[in-house]
Structure 1
Amino acid sequence: MTETEALQAKAGRKEWFALGVLLLPVLLVSMDLTVLYYALPAMSAELGPTGAQQLWMVDIYAFVLAGLLLTMGTLGDKIGRRRLLLAGALAFGVGSLVAAYATSAGEFIAARAAMGVAGATLMPSTLALIRNLFHDQTQRRTAVAAWSGGMAAGAALGPIISGLLLDNFWWGSVFIINVPVMVLLVVLGPVLLPEFKVPGAPRFDLISAALSLGAVLPVIYGLKRIAIYGFGAVPVAAAACGLLLAALFVRRQQVIANPMIDLKLFRQRAYGASIAINLVALFGMVGFSLFSTQYLQTVLGLSPFRAALWTIPGTLAVGVAVPIATAVVRLVRPAYVVAGGFVLAAAGFFTVTFTPVEDGIPVLLPGLIALSAGLAVVMTMITEMVVATAPPEKAGAASAVLQTGQEFGGAIGVAVLGSIGGAIYSSQMEGVVPESARETLGGAMAAAAKLPAEAAAELTAKAHLAFVQEMHVAALFATLLMVLGAVLAVVALRHVKDAPKPPAEPEAETAEPVPGKEDYAIAGN
Structure 2
Amino acid sequence: MTQVERAAAHNARWRWIGLIVLALALFMASMDNTILNVALPTLARDLRATNDALQWTVDAYQVTYAGFLLLAGNLVDRWGRTRTFIAGVIAFGLCSLAAGLSVNTGMLIAARACTGVGAALLTPSTLALISVLFRKPTERTTAFAIWSGANGAGAAVGPLLSGALLAHFRWGSIFLINVPVAALCLIGTLIFIPHVIPERADEKLDWLGTGLSIGGLSVLCWSVISAPGLGVGSPAVIVAFLGGIAMIVFFVWWQGKVESPILRLSLFEHRTFAVSVCVSGLVTGGGAGALFVLTQLLQYVLGFTPWQSGLAIMPVAAMMLTGAVAAPLALRHFGIKRAVMAGLLCVTAGFAWLALVPNETSYPSLLPGALLFGLGAGVLMPAATQAVMDSLPSESEGAGSATNSALMQVGSAMGVAVVGSLLAARYRGAMETHQLVEALDPQTRSGVLSSVAQAVDLAQEPQYAGLLPLIREGYVDGMRIGLGVSALAVACATIAVGIFFPAHPERPHNTADD
Q: TM-score range by the shorter chain?
A: 0.7 to 0.9
1 CA distance for matches of 2:97 and 2:313? 29
8 Å Cα contact 1:353-1:476 kept in structure 2:
yes
Describe how 1:197-212 pairs up with structure 2 within 5 A. Answer: 197-212=198-213
Match of 1:496 among 500, 504, 513: 504
Alignment of 1:84-123 (within 5 A): 84-101=84-101, 110-123=110-123
Which 10-residue stretch deviates more, 484-493 or 60-69? Answer: 60-69
How far does residue 139 in structure 1 lie from its aligned partner after superposition?
2.2
The residue that corresponds to 2:490 in the other structure is: 482
User: Matches of residues 24-43 of structure 1 in structure 2 within 5 Å?
Assistant: 24-36=24-36
Distance in 1 (alpha carbons) for counterparts of 2:393 and 2:72: 17
Alignment of 1:22-421 (within 5 A): 22-36=22-36, 59-101=59-101, 110-196=110-196, 197-226=198-227, 231=232, 232-358=234-360, 360-421=362-423
TM-score by length of 1: 0.82
Structure 1 residues 474-498: Cα deviation after superposition (integer angstroms, max 9, x where no partner): 4444333333222111111143347
* Change in 2 beyond 3 A, CA 1:181/1:233: same
- For the residue of structure 2 that corresponds to 1:381, the secondary structure is helix
- Indicate the residue corresponding to 2:441 in structure 1: none
Are 2:96 and 2:111, in contact at CA under 8 Å, matched by a contact in 1?
yes
Segment of structure 1 superposing worse, 134-143 or 266-275: 134-143
Q: CA deviation at 1:158?
A: 2.4
**Distance (Å, rounded) in 1 between the aligned partners of 2:449 and 2:428:** 5
How far apart are the structure 1 equivalents of 2:229 and 2:125? Answer: 32
TM-score (norm 2): 0.84
Q: 1:327 to 1:11 in 2, by over 3 A?
A: farther
Among 458, 461, 465, which residue is 1:456 paired with? 465
Q: What are the Cα deviations for residues 19-53 of structure 1, in whole angstroms up to 9, with x where unaligned?
A: 10001221222222333456678889998999998
Q: State the AA in 1 paired with 2:205.
A: F
Distance 1:415 1:195 in 2: 39
Amino acid at match of 2:492: L
Distance change (3 Å), C-alpha of 1:358 and 1:106: closer
The range that moved more, 351-360 or 379-388, is 351-360
CA spacing shift, 1:234–1:33, aligned 2, 3 Å: farther
- Equivalents in 2 of 1:464, 1:170: separation in Å? 27
Find the aligned partners of 2:453 and 2:187 in 1 and give their Cα distance: 46
Deviations 1:454-481 (A, max 9, x none): x724x43344344434444444443333
CA apart distance, 1:305: 1.9
User: How far did 1:106 drift?
Assistant: 6.4
Q: Which runs of 5+ in 1 are unaligned?
A: 503-514, 517-525
Q: Deviations over 1:410-441 (max 9, x none)?
A: 33333444455556556766852225678886
Displacement after TM superposition at 1:223 (Å): 3.2
Aligned-residue offset at 1:358: 4.1
What letter is aligned with 1:212?
A: S
Q: Is 2:225–2:420's contact at 8 Å kept on the other side of the alignment?
A: no
Deviation at 1:271, TM superposition (A): 1.0
Distance 1:483 1:253, change over 3 A: closer
Distance 2:122 2:482 in 1: 33
TM-fit CA distance, 1:70: 1.0
How many angstroms apart in 1 are the aligned matches of 2:117 and 2:281? Answer: 23
Asked if 2 retains the 8 angstrom alpha-carbon contact of 1:338 and 1:377, the reply is yes
Task: Please tell me the residue identity of whatever aligns with 2:219.
Answer: P
CA distance in 2, matches of 1:148, 1:82: 20
The answer to which structure, 1 or 2, has the higher relative contact order (CA under 8 A, 6+ apart) is 2
Percent of residue pairs identical: 33
